[in-house]
Structure formats: C-alpha cells, structure tokens
Structure 1
Amino acid sequence: MGTSQSPRSAQVIDLDAMRQRQQAQKHLIRLAPELDGLEMVYRLAASPDIYYGMPILAWGLREDGNIVGLVPWMETLTACHDVNSQDNGYFIGYRDPETEEIFDTPPDHKYYELTAAADYFEYEACGEVTLIQQLPDTLGTHALCMNHPNAPWKMKPVYGWRLYSDGSIDALLADEEKATMSPILLGDKCLYSARAFHKSIYFFQRHIANRILEEDPATLEALAMMVVPSE
C-alpha cells in the first residue's frame, strides 16, 4: 500500500512587508550633482513626435545599487525613469547636449562617483530620521507654495535639497526677512524645510516660473488645470 502524504503547508506571504522591502530598496542613499549639462529627454502624449529636454539636477544611488537621474518634477525631486504620465510626459532617455547622443542608462562615471562616496561616507542606520546630505540647487528651480485652497500662492526660489536617512528628499526655501547675507547659501539660518511649512508644493523650471510670475495668460491657464490644491 502507498503511504499517504500530508498536504504541504501553505506559505503565508506578508504583502505589506514585501512592499515595504521593495520600497526600501528604492530609497536614495547618496546624491551627486550634475555639472556637465546632461539632460532628461521626454515627450508629451499630445505631441509624440516632439522630444523635449530638461536639465538633470542630480544623480542618486539607491539602496539596491541602481543609479537614477533626478529632476524637480511636479511635487517632488523625481527619478527620471518614474516620469510616466499621460498628461505631463514620458521619459525617453538621457541626452548629452555636446554630442547629441541619447542613452537610456546613467553614465558609468556617475556610478563610480556615487558608490565611492557612499562607501566613504557610510553611515550607521538608527531609529530616527537623520540628515544625510545637502545639495545646492543649480537650475534656478522655483517652488509654487500653497497652504490653503483659497489663500494666495507664493512662488519661491529653491536654494537647495536635503536627503534624509529614510530616502526622502526635501527642498530648502528661504525666509527672506531673516536673511542676513547675500547670496543665500546652504547653512544659512533663514533656510527652512519646504514640506514642514507648506501644505502643497509644485516645482517649476526657471523659465516656466518666470512666465508664472509675469502672469503670462497661457501659462496661468495651464497652471490652473494642472495644480489642484489639497483641501
């Protein structure tokens, strides 16, 4: 007679824990500024045959070892590969304006730069969120800040970016009334965390921000359709 076998016990999978592990692998652990003019190339669904270029602010090293280009995009500093919106744009690749070459992976020299820096500045993880790194903003990025749907918005220049130990990134804005020196630099006491003081924030390139400040009708119309303040 054959021997009976007990049913194989079911494996319980904690989906929430799995998602948290996958998200942790995407956490940024080191930043490097882009100083050679490399761009992100994207296109819009409304004009699929036209490619647009946007300067890259920085490169980031993720926990899983991957390198990503970073651009101020909508509400945060965004990995270029994550730009995938029907309304706002699709990521195509990276571009070197000097050679006009378009490539889909970050350049090797940024990988070596970031991994070497991460090894040198290796930090010990602790229970509380700590500041890891600060970078100046070199693109003239502006933040449109709103604290209430019916309150006036403010357009403020971004002076820098902070990377924290949980992988989050925050912009640094200035309280001009507290500024004691010019120009304003990282470390000045007049700088403050954008997320800590403003309920809704949208980031814009310098030329778009100036059109908004000049109250260009077409730009303001597009802005009204795109920006929806949080209640």
Structure 2
Amino acid sequence: MGVSQSPRSAQVIDLATARQRQQAQKSLVRLAPELDGLEMVYQLAGSPDAFYGMPILAWGLREDGNVVGLVPWMETLTACQEVNSQENGYFIGYRDPETEEIFDSPPDHKYYELTAAADYFEYEASGEVTLIQQLPDTLGTHALCMNHPNAPWHIKPVYGWRLYSDGSVDALLADEQKATMTPILLGDNCLYCARAHHQSVYFFQRHIANRILEEDPATLEALAMMVIPEE
C-alpha cells in the first residue's frame, strides 16, 4: 500500500527583489585613491595580440566585502572586471608598471585600507541619499556632455568624484563662470554634479579628450559612432 505524499509547497521567487538585493551587494561603500600608478590591462577584439593599459583612478569596497579597481569608462566610473565589450575592450587583469607583473585580484593593501576606513567612519543608514565621500580626479579625465542629441556637446575636465550613500558615484564638473579662485579644488562653489545637469555624459582619458578638442578626424568619426544614436 503506497504512502500518500503531500505536495511540496511552491516557493515564489520575486525576481525584482532578488535583482535589487544582488545590486545592493555590489553597491560601493568606500573609495580609496590609486596613487602608485597601478593599471587596468584590457584587450580589443580587433587586436587580439595587443594589450592596452589604463591607469586606475581608485579602488572601491562593495557592500559584499569585495574590492574592485575603478576606471572612468564610457558613461560611468566602472569596476574593471565589468569592462567586457567586444567593441570597446574587455578586462584582462591589473598591472604594476614598475614590476610589469599582471595579477587578477586587487592588492591586499587596498583591501585592508578600505575595510579599515569603512570600519572607522561607519555611516549610519538613512532614508535620504547623503554624500559619503569625495575624491579628486588624478588622471585628467574629461567628460563629454550633451543635453540633447541635436544640441552642441561640450568637453569639460573632471575635477573629482562623489560617492553617495546609495552606492552611486557622480563626477564633479565646473561652471567656469562661477569660479572665483584657481586652481579649482573640491569644495569650491563652482563645482556641480554631472548627472544632475547633463542628459548624457561620456568619460575619456586626457589624451583622447585632447584629440577631440583638436578635432582629429579619426577620433571624431569614432566618437560619432559611439555616442550619437542612429536615426
């Protein structure tokens, strides 16, 4: 005689909640500047035999305890491991230019620096989004700013970066008409957050920004393909 079994209770998985929880674990809680010249190494699909280096701006501690290198990349400050595009490049590892060593994990000393700082400051959770930290930009990063697809674009130097309590990071640009002192430093009243004032923002390394400003034909053609939407 068989034994009847009660059906197992179905578990309803809220995918939206799961995604939000996963994203929260990736949220940044602390930043530390990179001051020793360590680089991100990446490759392009069109040049499989070549490696390219890009200076790391900072290291970030995530809510889940992981540390990631951060570079200004396309539309945001991006974790190096998330650079994964056939067109624009994909992450290979980190590099110490002094020793030429390539490694796939952030250095231990940055992990200890970030966790110690996070423990020391330990901001209390708040219902409002608040400013956690500001870092100066040390790479000469520039932002291409557009407010409408058909409106003129502007290239502006990035003076710093702000980390907020929701884990978001925004670039600091300057309204030169409001600048009263030089050089422009963090805390000056002429600085404003890029995302709050511009519909679209793309970040470039200093040498690429200079090519754009010099109206280099090849650079402008590549720029048009990258940032101008198809009609």
Normalised TM-score (structure 2):
0.98
> Which secondary structure state, in structure 1, belongs to the residue aligned with residue 210 of structure 2?
helix
Distance 1:141 1:212 in 2: 13
Q: Gapped runs of 5+ residues in structure 2?
A: none
1:159 counterpart letter in structure 2: Y
- 1:17 alignment partner in structure 2: 17
Equivalences, count: 231
Can you list the C-alpha shifts for 1:166-216, whole angstroms capped at 9, x where unaligned?
Answer: 100000000000001000000000000100000000000000000000001
- 1:69 alignment partner in structure 2: 69
- 1:87 alignment partner in structure 2: 87
Cα drift, residue 58 of structure 1: 0.1
Alpha carbons of structure 1 residues 106 and 23: separation in structure 2 relative to 1, 3 Å: same
Alpha carbons of structure 1 residues 22 and 34: separation in structure 2 relative to 1, 3 Å: same
Distance 2:22 2:104 in 1: 23
Q: Gapped runs of 5+ residues in structure 1?
A: none
Cα drift, residue 228 of structure 1: 2.4
Whether 1:149 and 2:141 are equivalent positions in the alignment is no
Alignment of 1:107-118 (within 5 A): 107-118=107-118
Cα drift, residue 229 of structure 1: 5.3
> Which secondary structure state, in structure 2, belongs to the residue aligned with residue 59 of structure 1?
strand
- 1:36 alignment partner in structure 2: 36
- 1:206 alignment partner in structure 2: 206
Aligned-residue sequence identity (percent) comes to 88
Distance 1:97 1:126 in 2: 41
Cα drift, residue 230 of structure 1: 9.9
Distance 1:173 1:229 in 2: 24
Distance 1:41 1:158 in 2: 23
Can you list the C-alpha shifts for 1:96-135, whole angstroms capped at 9, x where unaligned?
Answer: 0000000000000000000000000101111111110000
1:87 counterpart letter in structure 2: E
1:189 counterpart letter in structure 2: N
1:196 counterpart letter in structure 2: A
Which shifted more, 7-16 or 99-108? Answer: 7-16
> Which secondary structure state, in structure 2, belongs to the residue aligned with residue 201 of structure 1?
strand
Distance 1:88 1:165 in 2: 30
> Which secondary structure state, in structure 2, belongs to the residue aligned with residue 51 of structure 1?
strand
2:12 counterpart letter in structure 1: V
Distance 2:46 2:82 in 1: 19
> Which secondary structure state, in structure 2, belongs to the residue aligned with residue 90 of structure 1?
strand
- 2:183 alignment partner in structure 1: 183
Cα drift, residue 15 of structure 1: 1.1
Distance 1:117 1:84 in 2: 30
